A and B are shown apart, each in its own frame.
Chain A
Amino acid sequence: MNAKYLILIAGLVLAAALVAGCTTQTAQPAALKLGVVSSMTGPASTTGRDMWQSAQLAADEINAKGGVFVKSLGNNVTIALVQGDDESTREGGQKVVTKMIADDKVDALIGGFSSAVVTAHQSAVAENGVPYIITGASSPTITRRTDINTSTMFHHCPTTDDYGAKTIQFVDEIMRPAINAKFGRPADQPLRMAVIYQDSPYGKGVLSAVNDTIAKNGLPIDIVASESYKMGETDFRAILTSVKAKNPDVVYPAAFLNEQVPMMTQARRDVGLNTIFLAVECNDDADYYKGLGQYGDYSIIESRFSPYTVPKGPISANVEKYQKDYAAKFNTSPGMMGAATYEGVYVAAAAAQQAGSTGRAALVTALGSVQVPEMIESMENGTISFENTFRESKSNLYMEQLHWDPATQTLRPKIVWPAALKETEFQIPDWYRPGSV
């Protein structure tokens, strides 16, 4: 008797499963399927989550407006996101990107943080001709490498060459004259800069950009120390002691958020390196401000999107709306890598509409000529588009100086450069000690 019941129940469960499976298949609507490569776990998960959430926000906005019109289908399709956790590792990236291409059959990929991680999974993308809008890896080699075919990859993220050059330009135009003037040094006295860089394509890219910019323009900036460290390092005391012994006027780390926070904290707190630190844009995240606290006072960060300031200009309203919507949806402030990923979803949607298809080859062709009005990051010529040679978009970058407010116990940025966006003047704190007087 019991056996009969068991067989009956098993049969019912099997039938229900088959019916459910059939129903799911027939009810599946047409969609533009986008794989979002983001580090949901591992050391880069703070940035990864920001990228994923911003992609969700963009997809929800597009879908709420009815989706994207695709001519070949004769109607609108929704955006369907597939989460691809690269686990903050090269191997994790290779695994999940292959899965999204082969199993999930995504139409395009968006995201990718850390040049080392992206470099490792680019082969799978190239072999399958998948359009890939890379929004978080800044090594210029990403779309310039010649060992694989990168023609389907589009770089919507300033390269280390771009922001390395801009940062050095700011240092030479603003910081060097200010430091020389404050300490009575000759106006042409070279500035002593130390570079502490992650031993990765990203870190080496920044160091190379710094050296190239100085050499190319004959700038009076001496690199007095260039110290490397392994990715994920959190103990910088010995490196900082070495750097301090070289008497720098300014320190430029090419580090990720989870590295730069302990580095600056240990510099000020433990080593007594009372100098001004610069930071690369990928750190412009709410967690950076929270993690640094008072140790970030007067430091500088190069940026194109900040959770705590809105640059003047045509995109101000968009930025404010994005910050507000993101905070309302996720109960936290948005970060920079998420901003580019948010735009990346819109760019993919625009490419699908322009191509009139969700096919991979058609999307690649459309991405090559797509023109999307700038959204929440200021772009050169006011549009997001990819130049023909290396398929890179070009952003307008700015520099912020961070200030600690003891009353509210918060660290917040103010734009100090360029002049068109400037909110306040660059300041040198009383505790600052120059490398040489």
Chain B
Amino acid sequence: MAIDVGTLLQILFWGLYAGCIYILLATGVNLIFGVMKTVNFAHGELLMIGAYVTWTLFSLTGLNPYLLLVATVPVLLLFGIAVQRLAFRPVLGSHKLNEIFLSIGLIYLFQNGAAMIWGSDYQSIQSPFASMAVTIGSFRLPLDYVIIIAVTIGILVGLQLLLRRTRLGLALRATSQNRKAAMLSGINVERMDMIAFGLGAALAGAAGTLWVVSGQVFDPYMGSVPAVKAFAIVILGGLGSIPGAIIGGLFYGVAESAATYTLGGAWKDAISFIVLIVVLVIRPTGLFGERGE
């Protein structure tokens, strides 16, 4: 199959865009898992709630939806903290099955709650930059996707600074590395759990906003598929590894896009999981995972 360079770059670009959404989701899952050692299966629903919060704020204010990130992210941060405090903390440390079934239960709670509040019809938002594009030679990049990639980079840099350059980040990393030692050194690990969950939810909220402005439709049931992919990315990149989530997310986005172009859309999901199986057979801890995690 002969592919011209322009088409190839276009496919790569769509993969990068999809990868951005996956990275934000997978990084959130990893952050929560790293600190709490809990897998939140309802993480895709946090993306969905982020999308609806953006849509609601957009409907009320008419503001540029990108600016609404400033509001959506804190709302999801607080929402995540509340979910951790009210739902996860009571079962934390009990049997792992309790945590798993709790988060599965939350999927239905969030989906039905969203359907009750916002209705089950699909919704969409039109970006103010919808008709704008950056042209590089014969290569046309819609402005929205350039912004989405830039915003994702910005969020990841901000997260990295928070984790590496602040006392809070140090405390989060310490809790992630050794919970008991962190507790003995005076870190309030329960507070770290809440903050990690809140940050994970905030990242999912940001992904929701970016999903919305990219012209994707959304409804209360849209979170499941991105969440499954985020978990696969986390396993691919290595549990608890944020660089792994970033590399895994990009790899997934590009692999999906390339598979869709070359093999057809029916292979989009399959190819990602084929890659996952291959990686796990060769390196069971994932690309960046540590033995024992």
The count of chain A contact residues (Cβ–Cβ below 8 Å) is 38
Q: Is the C-beta of B120 less than 8 angstroms from some C-beta in chain A?
A: yes
> Which among B131, B219, B257, B260 has the greatest number of chain A C-beta atoms within 10 A?
B260
A41 and B121 contact, Cβ closer than 8 Å, known pairs A199-B265, A269-B215, A293-B126: no
Separation of A199 and B270 alpha carbons in the complex (Å): 13
Q: Judging by beta carbons under 8 Å apart, are A43 and B265 in contact?
A: no
Query: Hey, which chain B residues are within 8 Å of A40, CB to CB?
Result: 120
The count of chain B contact residues (Cβ–Cβ below 8 Å) is 38
For residue A184, give the distance in angstroms from its CB to the closest CB of chain B. Answer: 26
Query: Hey, which chain A residues are within 8 Å of B216, CB to CB?
Result: 234-235, 262
Q: Judging by beta carbons under 8 Å apart, are B121 and A265 in contact?
A: no
Q: Is the C-beta of B70 less than 8 angstroms from some C-beta in chain A?
A: no
Q: Judging by beta carbons under 8 Å apart, are B256 and A241 in contact?
A: no
Q: Is the C-beta of B264 less than 8 angstroms from some C-beta in chain A?
A: yes
Task: Tell which of B120, B131, B222, B266 touches A199, judged by Cβ atoms closer than 8 Å.
Answer: B266
Q: Which of A225-233, A356-364, A410-418 contacts B (4 or more CB under 8 A)?
A: A225-233
> Which among B11, B17, B121, B257 has the greatest number of chain A C-beta atoms within 10 A?
B121
Separation of A365 and B78 alpha carbons in the complex (Å): 61
Q: Judging by beta carbons under 8 Å apart, are B122 and A258 in contact?
A: yes
For residue A252, give the distance in angstroms from its CB to the closest CB of chain B. Answer: 15
- CB under 8 Å from chain B, chain A span 160-207: 196, 199
Q: Is the C-beta of B74 less than 8 angstroms from some C-beta in chain A?
A: no
Query: Hey, which chain B residues are within 8 Å of A233, CB to CB?
Result: 265, 268
Q: Judging by beta carbons under 8 Å apart, are B264 and A227 in contact?
A: yes
Q: Judging by beta carbons under 8 Å apart, are B142 and A43 in contact?
A: no
Q: Is the C-beta of B98 less than 8 angstroms from some C-beta in chain A?
A: no
Please give me the residue from chain A that is nearest to B111 by CB atom.
A41
Task: Tell which of B3, B121, B256 touches A238, judged by Cβ atoms closer than 8 Å.
Answer: B256
- CB under 8 Å from chain A, chain B span 1-59: 3-4, 7, 10-11, 14-15, 17-18
Query: Hey, which chain A residues are within 8 Å of B4, CB to CB?
Result: 245
Q: Per-residue 0/1 for A271-300: is the Cβ within 8 Å of any B Cβ (1 yes, 0 no)?
A: 110000000000000010001010000000
Q: Judging by beta carbons under 8 Å apart, are B124 and A261 in contact?
A: yes
For residue B2, give the distance in angstroms from its CB to the closest CB of chain A. Answer: 10
For residue A1, give the distance in angstroms from its CB to the closest CB of chain B. Answer: 38
For residue B235, give the distance in angstroms from its CB to the closest CB of chain A. Answer: 21
Q: Judging by beta carbons under 8 Å apart, are B145 and A270 in contact?
A: yes
Separation of A262 and B219 alpha carbons in the complex (Å): 13
Q: Judging by beta carbons under 8 Å apart, are B124 and A43 in contact?
A: no
Please give me the residue from chain B that is nearest to A259 by CB atom.
B217
Q: Is the C-beta of A45 less than 8 angstroms from some C-beta in chain B?
A: yes
Chain A to chain B contacts (Cβ below 8 Å), 21 pairs: A41-B120, A42-B221, A43-B219, A199-B265, A228-B266, A234-B216, A236-B265, A237-B17, A237-B257, A238-B15, A241-B14, A241-B261, A242-B261, A245-B7, A261-B217, A265-B124, A266-B215, A270-B145, A270-B215, A287-B121, A291-B217
Other than A230-B266, A270-B145, give 6 A-B pairs with Cβ distance below 8 A: A40-B120, A43-B122, A43-B221, A235-B14, A236-B265, A241-B261
